[in-house]
């Protein structure tokens, strides 16, 4: 394979290639810097698009999404186990991992003094990376397979309701309107040097309501060998995770054709979102829930250890970081930030993300730029 056309790369992103085709492409990507870079850029743009589409799903399609995920998991045996499943259905695993850690934040956060009588309110203003590996996912799978549990209907464990999240798109001429319609105040970022503003989007406030079915969850815990169970008074109670919305700015600049590289574009994405708020109903012993969650038999010990070591449980949101990523603590104008680098093809080539919090907002800056270049852009904003 001498050259990867964009249709082939998009088919890989959409998990439409056969195992043999994907292996051939992987072998080519291992040796081709240009194609790895193009795949990284296309994947980033595809993820941004899919995120908007996912957040904009009407409530009537949530059950369909659960059903689709179940069907995908049921087809694991077609392609070589969990490694193939993770690669082919990576978006589903990413969403699942994110929900797991958000739920962990809900359940392991101790009760704060002085909270409202009706609801416990937790505001997130710190971020902490929590890594997981292919072996961790394999261990979770083995926990169920070892008990003969292969077919799991996720809908039986509770209700999930998603509201809001509609996306609006603005032109460069409409930025004044964007400032008026934004659900939270923000400072317009400075356009980075060499880049031009290509697209601006606003994702409206989103609410996720989770209502667990305690009996079904406890049966699953018992089947996996767990001894601590969820309290019955949790059944039917509603946990709410709300976001005030997300702003997204996409910048681009063309880079000239050089030896070994065709002319193309470098993309840069900046997301600004108000820190999520988590509501826990009155009467729930959050300390007891914390003990149950941290003792769940499906949580690998490495993940459990990381959750336990988070010092400020009250205001910290764990960020799941998957296999093949590098994590580094950096500083942006005296603000602590996480630099997460997703490698491609086993090489030091891929996509970088800077994540930091400031003034009850979370910022995510993503690009194929080097760490130094990405930090320079972040500091200039």
pLDDT digits (tens, 9 = 90+) for 136-148: 767 766 766 555 5
Q: Which helix (H) or strand (E) holds 286?
A: helix 286-294
Confidence label for 249 from pLDDT (cuts 50, 70 and 90) = very high
Q: pTM for this one?
A: 0.66
Residue 158: name the closest of 242, 218, 73 by CA.
218
Residue 34: name the closest of 257, 229, 304 by CA.
257
pLDDT of 374 reads 93
18 vs 13, higher pLDDT? 13
Residue 332: name the closest of 375, 269, 361, 367 by CA.
375
Q: Is 323 exposed, middle or buried (0-12, 13-18, 19+ CB in 10 A)?
A: middle
Mean pLDDT of 147-169: 71
Judged against a pLDDT cut of 80, whether residue 59 lies above it is answered with no
Domain boundaries, the chain: 32-380
pLDDT of 378 reads 92
Confidence label for 120 from pLDDT (cuts 50, 70 and 90) = very low
- Measured from the Cβ of residue 333, the count of other Cβ atoms closer than 10 Å reads 11
* Cα maximum dimension of the chain: 66
For 257-309, what is each residue's pLDDT tens digit? 554 544 567 788 899 988 777 787 777 777 777 778 778 887 888 888 888 88
How far is 373 from 367, CA to CA, in rounded Å? Answer: 10
Q: Which two tokens stand for residue 90?
A: 């990576």
Strand partners, 270: 249, 365
pLDDT of 375 reads 94
Mean pLDDT of 239-252: 86
Mean pLDDT of 58-86: 44
Confidence label for 154 from pLDDT (cuts 50, 70 and 90) = low
- Measured from the Cβ of residue 172, the count of other Cβ atoms closer than 10 Å reads 12
Q: In what order do the strands lie in the sheet with 347-358?
A: 167-170, 196-203, 246-255, 264-274, 361-367, 347-358, 335-344, 325-332
Q: Give the whole-number percent of the chain exceeding pLDDT 90.
A: 5
Average pLDDT, the chain: 70
């Amino acid at each position: 394979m001498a050259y990867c056309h964009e249709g082939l790369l998009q088919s890989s992103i959409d998990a439409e290639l056969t195992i043999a085709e994907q292996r051939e492409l992987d072998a080519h990507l291992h040796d081709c810097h240009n194609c790895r870079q193009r795949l990284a850029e296309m994947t980033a743009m595809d993820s941004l698009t899919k995120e908007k589409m996912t957040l904009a799903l009407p409530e009537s399609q949530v059950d369909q999404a659960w059903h689709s995920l179940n069907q995908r998991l049921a087809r694991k045996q077609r392609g070589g186990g969990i490694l193939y499943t993770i690669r082919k259905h990576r978006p589903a695993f990413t969403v699942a991992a994110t929900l797991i850690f958000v739920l962990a934040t809900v359940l392991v956060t101790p009760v704060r003094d002085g909270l409202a009588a009706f609801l416990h309110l937790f505001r997130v203003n710190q971020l902490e990376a929590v890594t997981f590996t292919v072996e961790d996912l394999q261990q979770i799978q083995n926990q169920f397979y070892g008990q003969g549990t292969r077919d799991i209907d996720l809908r039986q464990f509770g209700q999930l309701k998603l509201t809001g999240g509609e996306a609006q798109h603005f032109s460069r001429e409409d930025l004044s309107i964007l400032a008026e319609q934004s659900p939270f105040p923000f400072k317009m970022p400075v356009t980075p040097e060499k880049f031009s503003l290509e697209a601006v989007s606003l994702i409206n406030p989103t609410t996720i309501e989770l209502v667990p079915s305690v009996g079904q969850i406890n049966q699953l815990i018992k089947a996996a060998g767990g001894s601590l169970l969820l309290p019955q008074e949790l059944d039917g109670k509603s946990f709410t995770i709300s976001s005030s919305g997300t702003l997204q700015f996409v910048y681009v600049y063309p880079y000239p054709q050089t030896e070994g590289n065709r002319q193309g574009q470098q993309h840069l994405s900046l997301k600004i979102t108000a820190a999520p708020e988590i509501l826990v109903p009155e009467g729930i012993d959050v300390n007891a829930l914390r003990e149950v969650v941290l003792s769940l038999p499906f949580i690998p010990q490495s993940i459990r250890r990381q959750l336990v070591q988070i010092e400020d449980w009250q205001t910290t949101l764990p960020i799941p970081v998957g296999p093949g990523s590098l994590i580094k603590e950096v500083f942006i104008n005296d603000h602590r930030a996480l630099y997460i680098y997703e490698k491609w093809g086993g090489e030091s080539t891929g996509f970088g993300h800077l994540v930091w919090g400031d003034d009850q907002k979370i910022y995510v800056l993503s690009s194929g730029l080097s760490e130094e270049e990405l930090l320079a852009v972040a500091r200039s904003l």
